Structure 1
Amino acid sequence: MDVNGFADQLPRVDSRTFPVEDSTRGLKFVRDVQPDFVSPRLAEDGDPNAAAAAVLIVAPAAAGKTTCSRAIAARCGAPLVDLAGQRVGATDFTGILAEALGMVAAGQFRDLLRSNNAAIVLDALDETSLLSGELNLQAFLQGICRVLRGSVGLGNVVMLARLDTADWVIDTFKQEGLPLRRLSVEYFSKGEAEKYIDLKLDRLYKGALVHRDNPKPYRAVREMVLGRIARGLGVATGDYWGDESAWRFLGYSPVLDAIASYLCVPNFSDMIGSLAGDTPSTPESVPEWQIIKTLTEDLLVREKGKFLDAWQYEDMVSKDMFDAQALAYNPLEQCVRLLSLVEAESTDVDLPALLPEPLKETYREQVAQQLRLHPFVTTDRQYVNGIFRDYMYAMVLSDQIVDQVGGRVIRQLRQADSLPSPALAPFIVEMVNSSDTGTGAFPADRCDLLISSLAARRDSALEYEFAIGADKETGELQVRRAARGRRPDDARVPLQVAGRSLRLPSRCQGLSVDYAGTVEIVAPGQVVKLGPSVSIRAECLSIEAGSLYVESTEDGPVSIDSELVISDYSLHVRTFGGGVFSVAGAEIEGSLLNHRAPRVPGEVALGDYFYTLRRILARFRSTVHLGSSRRLSANRAQLDRYVIRGDPKAARIVECLERLGMLSTDGESFLLDIDRLGAAGINHVDVRNFRATPEIMSFLQNHMVSGSAA
């Protein structure tokens, strides 16, 4: 079943019966489906529940939820409620209907809804969750549940959300005892992706539709571009659409937007030669995004060529005075001008250095003409797609653009209603690690934007883990990406840490931090969520938020270990899950004091060794099978730099584990023998979960404390 087929099953209502009296609450009737809409398939999540009155459609970030919501509403005549920018609460579902339609009409519509004679579509639950907070979102969802009690409707209340917000919807309906049907938007298939590109090109071409007029060379070039990206993913030529990782990337609509823009050329034959080679990626990079970055930069180079062809400068000044090929309208200047145009509505940008005076006026005139036709922006000064926007935002965040418009972009990305974009972080990784244009390191005080962008691609088959280690001078973010059916791969981002605090996002999951400085989570009045599987160790941790939700599970505990822990006494802390939430620190201020970690039984030194052992074992995550032995691996350089160095207790534990044959080295990795560790009475899961079993404490007493002066 696809989106169109799903919409056609919903009950229809005549919108003329319900004129909208007040559109400020986001309710509207959509008349037509977008002409370039390609209907994606929907997969059933869990057991089908066709009798449920409500349906939740889940999609990854930037995968077209809003476009799907408009298509569903248009095909079945249902009102579409756009919750972006709306603050919601307990009575707002019925309140929105009453304010938009009037009290009498709202009552009539609710009756039609409950009798399965009307449908309604609610979009942007993610945006309203950020503005309203999870508790108010939950109250809003409970209001929907109250309306649906006793309803005979069949999936006629349709909600669309990302994975994180979807969890709140699922939990609320479960608590309220109401069934909920769950569907997920699938990535495009080969045929759907090709149709998507074709329809995008219909809109991008301003005149003749070159791809329609020259189908044979166009299809050849389109296939070459798709195949080149697949090779960047490490997928052999052939049916690369059958490879899940290739399908998940090539079937992702923002990627297809970028490909369509790249293919918008007057002559496809000229492109074939330029596509013959591949651009290798660095070991630390995200391979598929290296290709997308290359395509994006090729567009900028192409625009420079157009500029030089149109700009008449040789009659006024010789090339000896000004090498236009090198200085004029380069990619960096284009991005600065485009950001200023869209973000600040300004065209006042510095001219290139060394531009001779006689050329300045004609340069300004040609730039003004060129910007109006630039492929990255529309005529009404909007970004053509999220890929081009995020490429330029990544230039700002990686300090390639440092002027006032850069500061405006960073503030905008941190606004309460700003959702992280999944394309931003891969571009940053590529720019930082690039051998030719790389900035060398990423500012630690912007890690919140980097991590939240990567985590935005999480779904049921793709997980991310993050590890940050830093001393006073240098640091590193390690990103582990685990996709279903593939071995995990790693990317590394060097961090600028000297004199900087480390800023973390308001949503942290699968994160380990060892930072020799201050760690901040800044979300005034908002909800911060930690867990599952979060460990933060720092000199100082500061949390500024309205509420703190901690999800700690048996396999994913949450721990804080800092000399100074700062939070406000008004911070509301809520914990759930069956795991341990522990806060350790010499000085703990605020409401987190109520969660101070209990001292491990025994001598002070014994407790210190227990916590040090936990820090060491927390670094071992990757499973390695050597014969019948199962081992965990950790990066040697990271463990030495951020855990062992400067800590005599950590050094003694590592030396002891090596001496007992539990720890060995293999190239750049430490290998931990789980079986030998278990034979000595140490269960690494118990240690991670702060379970100080008699066997573990006996091991530490015998091997670490007895006879030790440490």
Structure 2
Amino acid sequence: MLLSDLCRSLRGPIDWYGLQSDQYGVRESKQENPSYEVPEVREVRTCEPLTPSLILITAPAAVGKSTAADFMSNFLKCPILDLSFLQVGDGTLEGALAKSFGIRKNAEFSESLMESQATLIVDALDEAEVRSGQANFRAFVRGLADTASQVSGDRAAIVIFSRAESSRLLQEVFDERRLQYAHFEIRPFGKEQAQRYLERRVSDVYRTRGKEFLHLRHAGPFAEARNILFRVLASAIDSKVDDFWSESDVRDFLGYAPVLDVAAEYLAVDNFATLGSPIGFSQGSGFDQWGLVATVIDQLLLREQSKFVTQFMLMNIFQQHGNPSLHPILYSPEEQCARLLDYVENMSLPLELPAGLPIALREGYETAADTQLSNHPFLRGDGWFNVIFRDYVTARAQRAPQTSETAAKTIRRNLLSSGWKHSPMYAFFSHALGKDSSGRSSSCHSEDVGALYESFKSICETDDQLLTAVGRVASRLVATFSIDRGNEESVGPLHFFTHEGTTSVTFPRELSYANIWEIPEVILGGDQSSFKFGPGVYISSADLLFSSSEIQVYVGSEETPVLLTAKTLTSDSLKIQADAPKFMVLCEEELSFPWSKYQRRIDLGGLAADSREKRALYLELRRIVLRFKDAKDGEAAVYQPFMDNLVIGGNERARKVLDYLQEIGCVSLFRSMYLLDFAKFAALGISRSQLRDLEMTNSAMMVSVDLLKFSKK
């Protein structure tokens, strides 16, 4: 049902009662808002067959509760008790009405209210809770319940607007008093409502900029751009749904007024055709929508900060000890993110109050911030409103300069735990929030790489392949992720450079199609008992550690086996489930059971240093050649950006091997593809199957010698 239908079930006077003063928190919304988009409401609780004394209407932050209150006031010709600037307590309701109406009119209005012949709207309950403190707020709620219990007519006489979290105390008091009430929730806009609202907001943006309303003049191109934008934003939540407006999670996000407000800024352009380019937004890239989503969420955090500061500065304690210079540091987006993670995920983060906050303000600030947090727009009850907000908060908290290393480490530990349910959003937000000035790469801690892998993996469908490359460049690592979707457009590659001096990576659950080269320390396994390998894994590290108690290897007969090479390998009471040809280990030290079954030895002879380098070059040759896929008779191929960005990356040794293959004519570059000539490669005397199984023939040893000579030139 619509909010207007709910209004018709109530009763208002023929005309306004008329206020003597609007200085005491009571107002009348006499000006009709013709552009108001009447929302749908959903009944959460009913007291039928009994008659409710009051109606509670809840909604998340920024849905437009105050605008809805104004609509009802105008529809019913009834007053609004606006608590947004009041310090509430016992007797606030009666005092505000008496001072606003005067003694005679207040008596007339109160009598009509008790007989359900008039309606009173109470708005901004959540804001009063922040400013007044719990004791005063509870006293006000008890007084409101006392008044509602005296209503004796045949319909509700009091309507209360609040965020869901602030309404809990009301419901507890109402239930204790056995007060009959109905509870409705304002729903986000549906498709048609959102389109109408967005059109008006675009008009507002054009008007502010002093420009012509181009979306009305060019309705067709505007509608196409609007629909693309909706589709792009919806794909951030569920890429598999065509009728995305029918999905509640999508509607909750797209129908959220602040999301539409930001969307209006994007759509108010001079040429709607430009919105199909990367400058605007695009479906083709696979991740462009996340910059837009991040902007929307950032605006919500700034809005919440502004709302808190407005309320906190009206408190007596701030007026005594505060000053305007403190405003920018109060309840910052970064502080909100840290508090939200601590509140919802129980991370026990060391939360620090804003630097420069006077000691006299600290206790009052902490209390007000805790109260405001329980009403945060990113929350629904004690949990997240949706996973989009969770992952944005997590990614931003990790990357905030204000986050201590202890707190960041706690967040990373949670992300790598089995209890964290990964979504693609964390990886995309991490890339968007940490991007450098070029926009091509992002930064992260090396211990974030495993969580990024899990996040990207969560977007993959059955036939998708997540291709991962991680390598060392000086005192940093570079990690590259790309999703290969066969004939469909792929996602990525996305590049991450780790912070200076962070060179240890952990993969907690599984690993497939990954090239990991020259990493000082690689840890496989987390708090789960088993770690799973898929095909196409190559790891080269100084120290390789297994923290799980079991390894399972899933590699098909025609797939590239897992190859691990390390100076030292550490595990404890490990069980390995793998066929020996599909799981191979190279280690400088002699390994004991169960590793001894899978250990291979490559003795290339010669001096020790040259021997190690020949082995390393040969392993790079193996890794590169096995990436080529049969294309046509006599040739195999690999996409150039994939080879250059993922297989080679910053690996100088791998680059030398590719240069060698090109110099001897085995590999050539044609348009955007590297081509491998089977006949010329066969002349080397080694086959791809021998490479796959690490068969060290005389020809293989000759090739490794040639590789070493070439690399020294």
Task: Indicate the TM-score class for this superposition, using the shorter chain for normalisation.
Answer: 0.5 to 0.7
Q: 1:555 aligns with which of 553, 559, 562?
A: 559
Counterpart of 1:523 in structure 2: which amino acid?
G
Residue 445 in structure 1 maps to residue 447 in structure 2: yes
Q: Distance in 2 between matches of 1:615 and 1:313?
A: 66
Instruction: Kindly indicate whether the alpha-carbon contact (under 8 Å) linking 1:567 and 1:589 is maintained by their aligned counterparts in 2.
Output: no
Counterpart of 1:481 in structure 2: which amino acid?
I
Q: 1:612 aligns with which of 614, 617, 637?
A: 617
In structure 1, the partner of 2:703 is: 700
How much does 1:319 deviate?
14
Q: Please give the TM-score of this superposition, normalised by the length of structure 2.
A: 0.56
In structure 2, the partner of 1:296 is: 297
Instruction: Kindly indicate whether the alpha-carbon contact (under 8 Å) linking 1:522 and 1:544 is maintained by their aligned counterparts in 2.
Output: yes
Counterpart of 1:287 in structure 2: which amino acid?
D
SS of structure 2 residue aligned to 1:587: coil
The structure-2 alpha-carbon separation of the partners of 1:397 and 1:664, relative to structure 1 and needing over 3 Å to count, comes to: farther
Residues 147-158 of structure 1 aligned to structure 2 (within 5 Å): none
Q: 1:659 aligns with which of 651, 660, 663?
A: 663
Q: Distance in 1 between matches of 2:711 and 2:495?
A: 38
In structure 2, the partner of 1:532 is: 535
Instruction: Kindly indicate whether the alpha-carbon contact (under 8 Å) linking 1:560 and 1:584 is maintained by their aligned counterparts in 2.
Output: yes
Which stretch has the larger CA shift, 476-485 or 636-645? 636-645
Q: Distance in 1 between matches of 2:359 and 2:310?
A: 20
Give the percent of matched residue pairs that are identical in Structure 1 and Structure 2: 18
The structure-2 alpha-carbon separation of the partners of 1:322 and 1:582, relative to structure 1 and needing over 3 Å to count, comes to: same
In structure 2, the partner of 1:219 is: 195
Q: Distance in 2 between matches of 1:267 and 1:524?
A: 38
Instruction: Kindly indicate whether the alpha-carbon contact (under 8 Å) linking 1:661 and 1:676 is maintained by their aligned counterparts in 2.
Output: no
The structure-2 alpha-carbon separation of the partners of 1:350 and 1:218, relative to structure 1 and needing over 3 Å to count, comes to: same
Q: Distance in 2 between matches of 1:271 and 1:472?
A: 42
Q: Distance in 2 between matches of 1:613 and 1:302?
A: 57
Q: Distance in 1 between matches of 2:253 and 2:235?
A: 23
Instruction: Kindly indicate whether the alpha-carbon contact (under 8 Å) linking 2:629 and 2:637 is maintained by their aligned counterparts in 1.
Output: yes
Residue 520 in structure 1 maps to residue 523 in structure 2: yes
Q: Which runs of 5+ in 2 are unaligned?
A: 1-41, 45-162, 168-182, 202-220, 270-274
Instruction: Kindly indicate whether the alpha-carbon contact (under 8 Å) linking 1:431 and 1:437 is maintained by their aligned counterparts in 2.
Output: no
In structure 1, the partner of 2:475 is: 473
In structure 2, the partner of 1:509 is: 512
In structure 1, the partner of 2:241 is: 251
Residue 264 in structure 1 maps to residue 256 in structure 2: yes
SS of structure 1 residue aligned to 2:488: coil
Give a deviation string over 1:74-107, Cα, whole Å, max 9, x none.
xxxxxxxxxxxxxxxxxxxxxxxxxxxxxxxxxx
The structure-2 alpha-carbon separation of the partners of 1:263 and 1:355, relative to structure 1 and needing over 3 Å to count, comes to: farther
Instruction: Kindly indicate whether the alpha-carbon contact (under 8 Å) linking 2:635 and 2:676 is maintained by their aligned counterparts in 1.
Output: yes
How much does 1:521 deviate?
1.4
Q: Distance in 1 between matches of 2:708 and 2:344?
A: 63
How much does 1:222 deviate?
7.1
Instruction: Kindly indicate whether the alpha-carbon contact (under 8 Å) linking 1:285 and 1:430 is maintained by their aligned counterparts in 2.
Output: no
In structure 1, the partner of 2:495 is: 492
In structure 1, the partner of 2:571 is: 567
How much does 1:469 deviate?
0.9
Residue 595 in structure 1 maps to residue 593 in structure 2: no
Q: Please give the TM-score of this superposition, normalised by the length of structure 1.
A: 0.57
Counterpart of 1:249 in structure 2: which amino acid?
S
Instruction: Kindly indicate whether the alpha-carbon contact (under 8 Å) linking 2:417 and 2:527 is maintained by their aligned counterparts in 1.
Output: no
Q: Distance in 2 between matches of 1:212 and 1:701?
A: 65
SS of structure 2 residue aligned to 1:350: coil
Superposition RMSD on alpha carbons, in Å? 5.4
In structure 1, the partner of 2:652 is: 644
Which stretch has the larger CA shift, 413-422 or 426-435? 413-422
The structure-2 alpha-carbon separation of the partners of 1:694 and 1:512, relative to structure 1 and needing over 3 Å to count, comes to: same
Counterpart of 2:458 in structure 1: which amino acid?
A
Instruction: Kindly indicate whether the alpha-carbon contact (under 8 Å) linking 2:480 and 2:495 is maintained by their aligned counterparts in 1.
Output: yes
Q: Distance in 1 between matches of 2:712 and 2:439?
A: 51
In structure 1, the partner of 2:204 is: none
Instruction: Kindly indicate whether the alpha-carbon contact (under 8 Å) linking 2:523 and 2:545 is maintained by their aligned counterparts in 1.
Output: yes
Which stretch has the larger CA shift, 446-455 or 537-546? 446-455
The structure-2 alpha-carbon separation of the partners of 1:624 and 1:209, relative to structure 1 and needing over 3 Å to count, comes to: farther
In structure 1, the partner of 2:383 is: 382
Counterpart of 1:424 in structure 2: which amino acid?
Y
Larger radius of gyration: 2
How much does 1:672 deviate?
4.9
Q: Distance in 2 between matches of 1:250 and 1:222?
A: 25
Counterpart of 1:444 in structure 2: which amino acid?
S
Instruction: Kindly indicate whether the alpha-carbon contact (under 8 Å) linking 1:513 and 1:535 is maintained by their aligned counterparts in 2.
Output: yes
Instruction: Kindly indicate whether the alpha-carbon contact (under 8 Å) linking 2:472 and 2:478 is maintained by their aligned counterparts in 1.
Output: yes
In structure 1, the partner of 2:583 is: 581
How much does 1:513 deviate?
0.4
How much does 1:447 deviate?
2.2
Residues 332-411 of structure 1 aligned to structure 2 (within 5 Å): 332-344=334-346, 349-356=351-358, 363-364=365-366, 366-379=368-381, 381-398=382-399, 401-402=403-404, 406-411=408-413
Q: 1:541 aligns with which of 544, 549, 555?
A: 544
Number of residues of Structure 1 aligned to a counterpart in Structure 2: 497
Q: Distance in 2 between matches of 1:550 and 1:680?
A: 33
Counterpart of 1:218 in structure 2: which amino acid?
A
How much does 1:704 deviate?
5.1
Q: Distance in 1 between matches of 2:299 and 2:518?
A: 38
SS of structure 2 residue aligned to 1:429: helix
Q: Distance in 2 between matches of 1:244 and 1:297?
A: 18
Instruction: Kindly indicate whether the alpha-carbon contact (under 8 Å) linking 1:304 and 1:330 is maintained by their aligned counterparts in 2.
Output: yes
